[in-house]
């Protein structure tokens, strides 16, 4: 072999080595990146599942507030027996709203709107949203364990033009999932 052929062979071998080294670095980076992505993705899924479970556990906590449930009677074991009634517990009645004008109060449990019961299939915000501004609806409720009803003329929601508005802040009770809903 001549000197120029030797140099050419060394150059080819060096080029192959450099290309091989570059490809192995690239393959290593891709494999490491993929592994990191998959581990991070799995960890993210685990954290999201834990957050959801934690939130669901918070939603399922039953908190008995005596001034909101004056009709709950103690059992022989000393626990409060709360009637199994689904509805929307009024936490706040906003001033100068249809609910305030009709005499609804904090603690009332709204059980139906126009004979449509509040249950897992029908919640108060959805029932009110089915009506128009100016519609007259009958609100059935429990106050201190006694059933009552009032006729309410729905107003316009100050936050959303054209949307019917009752004017209460509620917490759904006896309905899964439990939720709070402002200003329905």
Q: In this predicted structure, what is the pLDDT of residue 40? A: 66
The C-alpha atoms of residue 56 and residue 17 are separated, in whole angstroms, by 58
Q: Which residue from 104, 108, 105, 120 is spatially nearest to 69, judged by alpha carbons?
A: 108
Polymer length in residues for the chain:
184
pTM, rounded to two decimals: 0.53
pLDDT score for 178: 38
Task: Classify each residue of 141-171 as buried b or exposed e, where b means 16 or more C-beta atoms within 10 Å of its C-beta.
Answer: bbbeeeeeebebebbebeeeeebbbbbbbbb
pLDDT in tens, the chain (184 residues): 677 788 888 888 888 988 888 888 888 878 777 777 766 666 767 776 776 666 554 444 444 444 444 445 455 565 555 556 788 899 999 999 999 999 999 999 999 999 899 887 888 888 998 999 999 999 999 998 899 999 999 999 888 888 999 999 988 887 554 344 445 5
The CATH number that domain 73-181 falls under is 2.30.42.10
| Positive/negative CA dihedral, 85, 88, 94, 100 | negative
């Amino acid at each position: 072999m001549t000197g120029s052929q030797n140099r050419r062979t060394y150059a080819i071998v060096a080029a192959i080595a450099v290309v091989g080294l570059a490809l192995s670095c690239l393959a290593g980076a891709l494999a490491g990146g993929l592994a990191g992505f998959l581990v991070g993705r799995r960890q993210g899924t685990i954290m999201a599942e834990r957050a959801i479970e934690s939130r669901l556990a918070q939603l399922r906590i039953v908190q008995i507030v005596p001034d909101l449930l004056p009709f709950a009677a103690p059992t022989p074991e000393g626990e409060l027996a709360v009637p199994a009634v689904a509805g929307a517990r009024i936490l706040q009645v906003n001033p100068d709203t249809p609910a305030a004008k009709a005499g609804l109060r904090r603690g009332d449990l709204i059980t139906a709107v126009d004979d449509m019961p509040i249950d897992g299939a029908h919640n108060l915000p959805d029932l009110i949203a089915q009506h128009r501004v100016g519609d007259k609806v009958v609100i059935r409720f429990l106050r201190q364990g006694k059933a009552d009803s009032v006729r309410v003329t729905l107003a316009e929601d100050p936050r959303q033009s054209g949307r019917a508005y009752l004017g209460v802040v509620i917490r759904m009770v006896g309905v899964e999932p439990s939720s709070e809903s402002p200003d329905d």
